[in-house]
Chain A
Amino acid sequence: MSNAESNKEYWRWTESRYTNPDLNWKDVDIISAGVDVGSVSTQAVIMVDGKIYCYSSMRTGSDSPDSANNAMDWALDGTGLSLDKIQYIVGTGYGRVNVSFAKRAITEIACHARGANFIYGPEIRTVLDMGGQDCKAIRCDQRGKVTAFLMNDKCAAGTGRGMEVFADLLQVHINDVGKMSLEVEEEPEPVSSTCVVFAKSEAVGLLRKGWPKEKVLAAYCSAMAHRVVTLLLRLGIEEKFAITGGIAKNIGVVKRIEDELKLKAPEPSIDPQLAGAIGAALFAKALVEKERKKS
């Protein structure tokens, strides 16, 4: 293996930004924004009258205030829109108190439910948010209002960070992990260790035994699916059920969650990693409307 290849960062997922070409911020009523500073990724979404105008999604750096600023700058890049024209900004996520330009901070649980309602529609009652360093099972009503939730933020098993560790170990790009894990003829036994550190040693053992990468990934994806299904079952599932967060893009995990639950999660029309920031931007819009009513 060449040196450059061995230094490759397999965990590094693709950062992205987008502007909706059909929308113009100049002739709209409300411009609102949501910034979701997660432990691993940060998203900024700017909405015009409740429609997504532009967004950015990037890796959270070691400094939360900088990450919020960078994500907002990148989202605004090339749009001609500036921060002072946004009427209301809501911060959310693990680093929500560090969004200096936000008027208010709202928990990511509320924002994810609201965002899932926007992405997947009002019939969603259960949301599984699989983030970088935590995993939440959320129940909500037809308006996307949270009615109950459970979360694991103590352990990397069942989170995106755990998947990054495996991408690195197997030298498979994180974007390809899910697809590759489905390239097995027969589903192997799931990795038996819960702890990611131990699961990693277990995987090394399996590789030495001659298991191909896809089989090891299948074993890990199904262990991860099983772990989050336990959380969902503890909360109780009401249909319809949807998945948000970065892992929602991992088909290997999603497919196995669906199989275990015997339920289908709808395919997202919008990047499901944006759910938190979308929810925050929608709350920001509602807050503008509330302020108007008052005055």
Chain B
Amino acid sequence: MITAGIDCGSKNTKVCIVKEGVVLSTASVLSGFDQEESAEQALKSALEKAGIKREEIEHITATGAGMEAIKFSHNTITTITADARGTYSIFPSARTIIDIGAEEGLVIKIDDKGKVKDFGINEKCAAGAGAFIEAMSRALEVDIENMGELSLKSAKQIPINAQCTIFAESEVVSLIHQKTLKEDIIRAVHDAIADRNTSMVRQIGIEKDVALIGGVANNIGFVDSMNRNLGFGLLVPKDGVAPEYVSALGAALVAQDKIGGY
């Protein structure tokens, strides 16, 4: 029994193919203008990786900001449901989930059965999302992939006062002018976005264990800032499924349930 989950994010479209509850493959493409086309491409690439044919997929579930555009999916579920399902399958001990994507941040609380109890969402402001780090990496002329590692070299704490991404960019530029070390600025950037997200988590209430998913969880510098801010270590998916695929995995697992469960 094979199913696929498609997560149509604002930046990337991710696909996860699952057979009897086990991940066969994952694939990601940039969410272009035509989201259905991007989903089609991501699915094709995941099928190739898994070495299976399109016809073998029995059910497709879509989730994410652009899910309505995926006409070929059998059903859609919210990001919250997908995140809860995906995270619970990886970390059954997780009771709080933090999902930070390119353009939004979510906090979800689940019970010991993986059922959603409460959630909070920021989709209005880039300051708490991956877009913030992306804008700063452009201002700093540092590849986004290198931001995490570089910030770990810093031991200095510099506050970034601006809340807004646009204003913070000017603040970063003036830090560059003041000859502040790049690694110190990058750490300040991670501390700033971590601060915004932890305050959202505190608003909902922290219940351990806490898992961090979404593309931004790949940034080890950001994870470090979050851990320092919260005072304990977050669970971050490492083996098997990367953090940005958890939502797609959740969708694929919900699809498994739809056709009779595994």
Chain A interface residues (CB < 8 Å from chain B)? 39, 62, 133, 154-156, 161-162, 165, 193-198, 201, 205, 208-209
Contact pick for A62, options B33, B103, B135, B174, CB 8 Å: B174
- Residues in B with CB closer than 8 Å to A133 are 167, 170
Residues A197 and B163 in contact in the complex (CB < 8 Å), given A62-B173, A62-B174, A155-B125: no
Interface residue ranges of B50-74 to A (CB < 8 Å): none
* Chain B residues with a Cβ closer than 8 Å to the other chain, count: 19
- CB contacts under 8 Å to A, within B19-66, are 33
Give complex CA distance A195, B135 in Å: 13
Q: Please give 5 more A-B residue pairs, beta carbons under 8 A apart, in addition to A194-B125, A196-B165.
A: A62-B177, A156-B166, A197-B131, A198-B131, A209-B33
Pick from A161, A193, A194: contact of B166, CB below 8 A. A161
B residues 97-129 touching A (CB-CB < 8 Å):
103, 124-127
**B229 is an interface residue with CB less than 8 A from chain A:** no
Cβ of B131: which chain A residues have Cβ within 8 Å of it?
197-198
In the assembly, what is the distance between CA of A213 and CA of B161, in Å? Answer: 34
**Beta-carbon contact of A195 and B165 below 8 Å:** yes
B164 within 8 A of A: yes
A197-B165 in contact (CB<8A): yes
Contact with A along B161-200 (1 / 0, CB 8 A): 0011111001001100100000000000000000000000
Say whether A165 contacts B166, CB under 8 Å.
Answer: yes
Query: Cβ of B103 and Cβ of A155 under 8 Å apart?
Result: no
Q: Is the CB of B164 within 8 A of A155?
A: yes
Q: Which 7 residue pairs across A and B have the least CB separation, nearest first?
A: A156-B166, A197-B126, A62-B177, A208-B33, A154-B163, A156-B164, A195-B125
With both chains docked as a complex, state the minimum distance between the C-beta of B185 and any C-beta of chain A, in angstroms: 14
Tell me whether B33 and A161 are in contact (CB under 8 A).
no
Is the CB of B10 closer than 8 A to any CB of chain A? yes
**28 A-B pairs in the complex with CB atoms less than 8 angstroms apart:** A39-B170, A62-B173, A62-B174, A62-B177, A154-B164, A156-B164, A156-B167, A161-B166, A161-B167, A161-B170, A162-B166, A194-B124, A194-B125, A195-B124, A195-B125, A195-B127, A196-B126, A196-B165, A197-B131, A197-B132, A197-B165, A197-B166, A198-B131, A201-B10, A201-B103, A205-B33, A208-B33, A209-B33
Please give the distance in Å from B84's CB to the nearest CB on chain A: 25
* Nearest CB on B from A64, distance (A): 10
Min C-beta distance of A202 to chain B, whole Å:
10
Q: How far is the CA of A264 from the CA of B173 in the complex (A)?
A: 39
